[in-house]
Structure 1
Amino acid sequence: MVLFGTIVNVLLIIVGAFVGRFLHNIPERVKETVMYGIGLAVTVIGIQMTFESSQILIVIVSIVIGAVLGEWMDIDKKVNQFGHWIERKLPTSKKGPGIAQGFVTATLIFAVGSMAIIGATDSGLRNDHDVLVMKGIIDGFTSIILSSTLGIGVAFAAIPVFLYQGIITLLSTQISRFIPDELLSYFISEMTATGGLMILAIGLNLIGLTKIRVANFIPAIFVVGIVVGIVHIL
């Protein structure tokens, strides 16, 4: 089954989120320190991903144009509104101030990154699900910690992850017919670096140093594909 890897990834996120809810009685100071630890780890991951770029100018251009488009569409506000809509639909006893934040933060952490792209592409091109299963294990443990501090909204991040990775997987079954391997590899490296800056911003937000509207950078993922294509043609 071509979507096996994505389904496993999604299930592990959901299971991790619900396991994390049983840990909500952890003292606040412990949660705070753990969240700082996660923020530092996410920051380092973002920095490492950024160094994947072979032409940092492409990353800068993509981020700038993506940010302008994201602010124009106000994606961050819409994503948060969706998170609050989910919160209103939940039973009162399960509501909490972290639901929307948990949804947005977890979605960006789980969906943006090289493993999501590479894993979904491998599933589609070669029916190889190892990368997505490995990503699912990592996401599952991350989901436990995020859910224990940010709430059950983390579980709903499984929805955009399923759509995002699922679409890439299905498109990848046909992508080799149209895109040369060299161009695909080029795109993955630059997209990874662009996503790395977004991950870095998430880490800084988790630490509390910034309040960057990271969701408004999402269009940069699509912009980098266009820019890479233009550079490749030229």
Structure 2
Amino acid sequence: MALYGTLINVALIVIGSFLGLVFTKIPERYKETVMQGIGLAVMLIGLQMAFVMEHIIIGLLSLLTGAIVGEWLQLESGLDRLGKWVGNKLGSEENDSRVSQGFVTASLIFVIGAMSIIGALDSGLRGDHEVLITKGILDGFVALVLTTTLGLGVILSVFPVLLYQGSIALLATQIEGVLPESTLNGFITELTGVGGLLIVAIGLNLLNITSIRIGNLLPAIIMVGVIYYVYQLFL
């Protein structure tokens, strides 16, 4: 089943989030230090991903055009409003901004990355779910720690994870015979690189070094496909 790996991933995030809600009495200094450690690890993962990019111009143009589209659509504000709305509907006792921050931060960490894309493609193309199950174990641990700090919003990230990875897996079952393998691999490489840069931005925000509006950069993920296609036409 193409969605098996994604469903396991989602289940592990839910388990980790619930454990995080249970262990909320962890001393603040522990949570702060652990979050800093996660921030550093997230930056390392992002850098490793970013360095696989083969064509810097594709990454640059993707980020520039993605930022313009994101600012025009005001995606960051929209995600913030969505998080607050969900928090109100669930009757959360937490501050709405924490629900929003938890939802946005967890969604970006769990969705953007090589493992999401490659794992979902493996599930759809080859029926191999090992990558997504491994990712689920990592996500579950991160969800536990994030939930102790950011609260209920973290568990809501399962919806974009299910939609994103599930869509890729189902689409992959249909495109195997349509796109040449070299083209597909090239696209994944550039997408991984751009996603890695966004992951680095997440790490910087987690460390409170910057306040990058990552939500407004998300269209860069889509623009990679457009720009890579145009780039291939002129090769």
* Contact 1:46–1:198 (8 Å) recurs in 2: yes
* Contact 2:80–2:97 (8 Å) recurs in 1: no
Corresponding residue of 1:227: 227
**Amino acid in structure 1 at the alignment position of 2:163:** L
* Contact 1:96–1:151 (8 Å) recurs in 2: no
Distance 1:53 1:123 in 2: 23
The aligned runs of 1:52-91 (5 Å cut-off) are: 52-91=52-91
Distance 2:93 2:100 in 1: 16
TM-score (norm 1): 0.97
Corresponding residue of 1:4: 4
Distance 2:48 2:60 in 1: 16
Distance 1:2 1:40 in 2: 33
The aligned runs of 1:25-104 (5 Å cut-off) are: 25-93=25-93, 97-104=97-104
Corresponding residue of 2:108: 108
Q: CA deviation at 1:130?
A: 0.9
Corresponding residue of 2:185: 185
**Amino acid in structure 1 at the alignment position of 2:108:** L
Which stretch of structure 1 is more off in the superposition, 95-104 or 2-11? 95-104
**Identical columns (%):** 50
Deviations 1:137-181 (A, max 9, x none): 110111111111111110000000000001111110111222110
Q: Does 1:143 align with 2:143?
A: yes
Distance 1:198 1:216 in 2: 11
Corresponding residue of 1:165: 165
**Amino acid in structure 2 at the alignment position of 1:179:** L
Corresponding residue of 1:118: 118
**Amino acid in structure 2 at the alignment position of 1:228:** Y
Give structure 1 stretches of 5+ with no counterpart: none
Deviations 1:7-50 (A, max 9, x none): 01011111100101122111112211111111111111111110
Distance 1:126 1:46 in 2: 26
Q: CA deviation at 1:99?
A: 1.2
Distance 1:119 1:193 in 2: 16
Deviations 1:179-231 (A, max 9, x none): 11001000111000000110000000000011111011111111101111122
Q: CA deviation at 1:55?
A: 1.0
* Contact 1:5–1:133 (8 Å) recurs in 2: yes
Corresponding residue of 1:175: 175
